[in-house]
Amino acid sequence: MPNQISGPVLDALVKAALEGADARARHTAVKILTSLRDPRTIPTLVRALGDRSEDVQFAVTKALLHFDKLAVSPLCQALLEEENVHLRRRSAWLLGFIGDPGAAPVLAQVMENAKDLRLKHEAASALKRIGNPSIPLLAEILQKSEDAIARRLAIEVLKEIGDMTSIIPLLAQALRDADAEVSAAAAKALQGYDFELIAKALQTE
């Protein structure tokens, strides 16, 4: 059962967690918010992921993992809308750890469109953790995205989570990608698999 507190007290804790000048004070405020186990605190905790203190970041991460799927929507919103790239990276990591398939479309969008390379990788790792529900989104990126890095990441994740019989046609098509790194990634992913299947996939394009 969450511990219910009044609005003014909650507002004061939120202000302390986000705006306190001292890292120890912010950390204490976050720990108090965490102890409440009140879903009303989730948006504040998500914003606090961008705190410059590692202690605060760790406490917030632990708190949001406790909320599990209740945190998914606020984390997705932060991933799409926040400017703080560190907050966005941590949001992507948390979404992958929680593993809710509902986050996959947002993660795929970020993997394709983000300018920050590390954020792209965090989104790809999260899609890998989510697993099979990510496959159609990754396939679409591989086939349609104009971003070569996103296409390469899609190959790497598909290699890890997909049934090779079903994704061989996708990888075979990527052998002809105009970007050398993407085609090389496809060739590497196909190593050790039945060349007849690969040849057949290329013939049916």
CATH number of 1-70: 1.25.10.10
Ranges of each domain in the chain:
1-70
Helix axes 148-161, 117-130, angle to 10 degrees: 30
* pLDDT at residue 25, rounded to an integer: 87
CA 78 vs. chain centroid, Å, equals: 11
pLDDT of 20-66, one tens digit each? 778 888 988 888 888 888 898 899 899 999 988 899 899 899 889 99
CB-based contacts of 1, cutoff 8 Å, min separation 6? 37
pTM of the model: 0.87
Could you give the CA distance from residue 186 to residue 166 in angstroms, rounded to a whole number?
A: 14
pLDDT score recorded for residue 1: 42
- Low-confidence spans in the chain with pLDDT less than 50: 1
- Helix, strand, coil proportions of the chain in percent (round to 5)? 80, 0, 20
Task: State the greatest distance between any 2 C-alpha atoms of the chain, in Å, as a whole number.
Answer: 69
